Structure 1
Amino acid sequence: MKILTKRLTIATLSTAALLIPFFGVIPGVPNWGEMTSAITALSSANAQNIQKQPMVKLQLGAEKQVLSKDIQGKTKTTWQALQGQVTVQPGDVLRYTLTGANQSDRPVKNLTFNQPIPRGMVYILKSANANTNAKITYSIDGGRSFVENPRVKVTLPNGKVEEKPAPAEVYTHIRWNFPNAIAAKSAVNGIYQLRVR
């Protein structure tokens, strides 16, 4: 039996602007280009004057789920931080933490994280959360639209068409919108889990 493995490179990048993307390369699947995160920091300042926009430092961290048995035989879950070149196998679960740190001396308003789900990975339903109040929405159409509970139309054996919750395999993006201003020198996190196909 041949075991398929995939190699990843976990990178940490930061930058500041009105629109802040991640760039990097992960050999194999998932492709880091598909993991591009767009973070939009909109402030009350005029968008044309980007130099006066607050600085937001971005960091993407990843951990691999490790399952083990304790003395009583119960399954114990721990998370192993991933850095540099790592090997993952189909079925492995990875937990990502996207951190946006406001490094300026004033609040950042209307901060939004958009995170694509790369090919070769499947979103684990209900795993997305945040360390503060955030509205979390999802896309199943490549990031064109976002809703809290994506639905798909399914044709039943009798020919009737009805809407059902979208399966995890069709999720393409996750979005966190932080409605409250992010205070100076503070940070927010968007957390989610993916399974390697």
Structure 2
Amino acid sequence: MKRLSKFVGLGAAAALLTVAVPLLSGTPVWASLQQASQSVIESLQRQPAIQLELAAAKQVLETDAQGQTKETWQTLSGEKAVVQPGDRLRYNLSGENTSDRSLKNLVVTQPVPPQTIYVLGSALVGNNGGAAITYSIDNGETFVDAPMVEVTQPNGDIVLEPAPAEAYTHIRWNFGDQVQPEAVLSAAYDVTVR
């Protein structure tokens, strides 16, 4: 089986208010936080109260002697990590409001990395139960709860159907006004490598 080598570099991003922080570009696990640096710097100047950290892990499935499958997650760290087509990756976003005031209108947008496919239903919010999750299928132009696409039927009728996983381009978490002082945030989503 041919192995597909991809490189992973993970870093921290700080102070995002309504900013997209791309995790990857070009290859599915090359952290492109450098490309987002200007946005992050501008956001730091506007809202220095939240620090966000991005991390990635690869799903590992092992079968024990009794035939039971055990799932674990291997942290992808350092400059290099190897992934193969079909591997499932989990991206975790964590942060904390380090200020003494509530944050207003906190929105975090993550692109689905190129050469990966979003795993439908995998976007989660940790202990921030009130955060809304929306999705884009048009490169971040619009966000909705359940993206739909037009499909032409054999008889020529056009109907709306749920968008396939391959169509998802971005995920957005809207934490609204719920980020109290010292609140800890967490969110995650999974992708598979093409």
TM-score, normalising length: structure 1? 0.82
Give the 3-state SS of the residue equivalent to 2:7 in structure 1.
Answer: strand
Report what 2:93 is aligned to: 98
Report what 2:118 is aligned to: 123
Pair 1:154 & 2:148 matched: no
Report what 1:32 is aligned to: 31
Pair 1:109 & 2:108 matched: no
Q: CA deviation at 1:24?
A: 8.0
Report what 2:71 is aligned to: 77
Pair 1:172 & 2:169 matched: yes
Q: Distance in 1 between matches of 2:53 and 2:64?
A: 33
Would you say how many aligned residue pairs link Structure 1 and Structure 2?
A: 186
- Kept in 2, the 8 Å contact 1:13–1:23? The answer is no
Q: Distance in 1 between matches of 2:34 and 2:193?
A: 14
Mapping of residues 12-91 of structure 1, within 5 Å: 12-16=11-15, 18=17, 22=21, 28-33=27-32, 53-84=47-78, 85-91=80-86
Give the 3-state SS of the residue equivalent to 2:12 in structure 1.
Answer: coil
Give the 3-state SS of the residue equivalent to 1:11 in structure 2.
Answer: coil
- Kept in 1, the 8 Å contact 2:92–2:188? The answer is yes
Q: Distance in 2 between matches of 1:35 and 1:128?
A: 24
Q: Distance in 1 between matches of 2:57 and 2:157?
A: 43
Aligned CA distance change for structure 1 residues 12 and 32 (closer, same or farther; 3 Å): closer
Aligned-partner residue type, residue 57 of structure 1: Q
> Runs of 5+ in structure 2 lacking a partner?
none
TM-score, normalising length: structure 2? 0.84
Cα deviations by residue, 1:104-123 (Å, 9 ceiling, x for unpaired): 12211221110001210000
Aligned CA distance change for structure 1 residues 196 and 175 (closer, same or farther; 3 Å): same
Aligned CA distance change for structure 1 residues 87 and 59 (closer, same or farther; 3 Å): same
Q: CA deviation at 1:74?
A: 1.8
Report what 1:192 is aligned to: 189
> Runs of 5+ in structure 1 lacking a partner?
41-49
Q: Distance in 1 between matches of 2:34 and 2:183?
A: 24
- Kept in 1, the 8 Å contact 2:9–2:29? The answer is no
Aligned CA distance change for structure 1 residues 186 and 31 (closer, same or farther; 3 Å): same
Superposed CA RMSD in Å reads 2.8
Larger mean Cα displacement after TM superposition, 116-125 or 51-60: 51-60
